[in-house]
Amino acid sequence: MRALWKGTISFGLVNIPVSLFPATRSEELKFHLLRRSDLSPISYKRVAEADGKEVPWDQIVKGYEYEKGEYVVLKEEDFARVDVEATQTVDIINFVEIDEVDPLLFYKPYYLEVQKGGDKAYALLRDSLVESRKIAIAKVVIRARQHLAAVKPQKKGLILELMHFPEELVDTSEFKAPVAKSIRKNEMQMAKRLIQGMSSKWEPSQYGDEYHEALEKLIEQKIESGGKAAPPPAKKKRPTNVVDLMSVLQKSLRETAGEKKPEKPAKKSRAKKHKKAA
């Protein structure tokens, strides 16, 4: 796999050479827009709202809408004035307890692979983070944009997880909170029993994207049948709002009684082999 970024981790006088690799991959199926009559692919055009005319790239500028319909144009030299220097360094600002950081701030992990000459310092940073039960908060510039990030120990290595800046989070006060109601002791005991009955050891292979798998299966059926699709499955009845909480908890406990067998991961579909999906 090709490295996304190469540089160093820097804290104090320590510099560790590393390479950055994506820790996740997109599993979305890509679709093309086609003309119905002959399945000819449709391309996108840059069209002006004012007159519907196509606009060439050399006539396009970037503008900020400061009022409805009012724009100020920013040129390349304007962006250059505020551009952050790409230092190729993960600059660690400080070390904090991970429990102190809002988990909503973390959003995209990357693997940090040690480069030549950095093994000892890399292992020292990894093990120190594990021993101290802390993470490093840093700033890093990737593709001309500065990010807040965290360096975390992950099994035998380190990961760099990009973070939202705190001001990017929507304040929870903007959302409706549940109306405070007293919870009876027997309701709490029943809920805890249900949680205990549904608890199991974490097995990542049990979980999969059901929508993605069903869509792949549908595509495979249409490929094999020449474009014909199977009839849609009957829709499941949606549960109604909870009226009698105790009876719902009791029914749930009865249904989860006994050992539940883990679901087997679905087999990979041949649809992934087809690069174009009509």
Residues 6 or more apart whose CB falls under 8 angstroms from that of 135 comprise 95, 96, 98, 101, 129, 150, 151, 152
Q: What is the pLDDT of residue 103?
A: 93
Specify which residues 18 forms β-bridges with: 7, 114
Each residue of 219-253: b (16+ CB within 10 Å) or e?
bbebeeeeeeeeeeeeeeeeeeeeeeeeeebeebb
Residues composing the chain? 278
What does DSSP assign to residue 34? B
Q: What pLDDT, in 10s, does the model give residues 148-180?
A: 999 999 999 999 999 999 988 888 887 777 786
Question: Considering only 45-54, 97-106, 108-117, 235-244, which range has the smallest mean pLDDT?
Answer: 235-244
* CA distances in angstroms from 163 to 53, 137, 142, 168, 207, listed in the order given: 40, 9, 13, 10, 25
Average pLDDT of the residues in 130-138 = 96
Confidence of residue 132 (pLDDT cuts 50, 70, 90): very high
Q: What is the pLDDT of residue 99?
A: 93
What does DSSP assign to residue 258? S
More confident residue, 88 or 105: 105
* CA distances in angstroms from 157 to 18, 40, 111, 152, 153, listed in the order given: 11, 48, 8, 9, 6
Confidence of residue 92 (pLDDT cuts 50, 70, 90): very high
What is the percent of the chain where pLDDT is above 90?
Answer: 27
Confidence of residue 275 (pLDDT cuts 50, 70, 90): very low
Segment (H or E) for 106: strand 106-114
Alpha helices in 55-152, H assignment, sequence order: 76-81, 119-132
For domain 5-26+83-168, which CATH number applies: 3.40.50.300, 3.10.20.740, 2.40.290.10, 3.30.70.1170? Answer: 2.40.290.10
Neighbours of 6 (CB within 10 A): 12
Domain residues of the chain, as ranges? 5-26+83-168
Question: Considering only 5-9, 119-123, 161-165, 233-237, which range has the smallest mean pLDDT?
Answer: 233-237
Confidence of residue 243 (pLDDT cuts 50, 70, 90): low
